[in-house]
């Protein structure tokens, strides 16, 4: 199960129809994976019994922001432009990030 549905992703990207479903689905999976890696948590979240629990809305919004970046910037480099991390996504994820000390 994903955290953000394909319909939610398409609504965020303002996409009608099914022509881009495969592309959006691939990028959505990548966005959720990137957020999970950043948080050092599996998605969707699970409680101590292994049951899925709701992911906080700021995490969902961060996934959508990363998805939007992936969808809008389909190439790894653009001449005359610089690419930076999305500060809003990182700000939204900060309180949920698991930090471990070794």
Instruction: Indicate the domain borders of the chain.
Output: 6-96
User: Could you say which architecture CATH assigns to the domain 6-96?
Assistant: Orthogonal Bundle (1.10)
Is the pTM of the predicted complex or chain greater than 0.85?
no
What's the rounded mean pLDDT across residues 56-73? 93
Return the pLDDT at 76.
64
Q: CA–CA separation, 60 vs 65, rounded Å?
A: 9
Q: Which helix (H) or strand (E) holds 46?
A: none
Q: CA–CA separation, 95 vs 102, rounded Å?
A: 20
Sign of CA dihedral 7, 12, 14, 19: negative
Return the pLDDT at 82.
55
């Amino acid at each position: 199960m994903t955290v953000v549905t394909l319909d939610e992703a398409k609504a965020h990207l303002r996409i009608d129809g099914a022509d881009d479903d495969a592309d959006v689905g691939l990028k959505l999976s990548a966005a959720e994976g990137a957020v999970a890696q950043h948080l050092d948590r599996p998605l969707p979240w699970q409680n101590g019994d292994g049951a899925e629990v709701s992911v906080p809305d700021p995490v969902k919004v961060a996934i959508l922001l990363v998805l939007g970046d992936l969808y809008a910037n389909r190439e790894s480099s653009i001449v005359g432009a610089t690419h930076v991390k999305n500060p809003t996504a990182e700000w939204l994820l900060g309180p949920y990030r698991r930090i471990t000390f070794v």
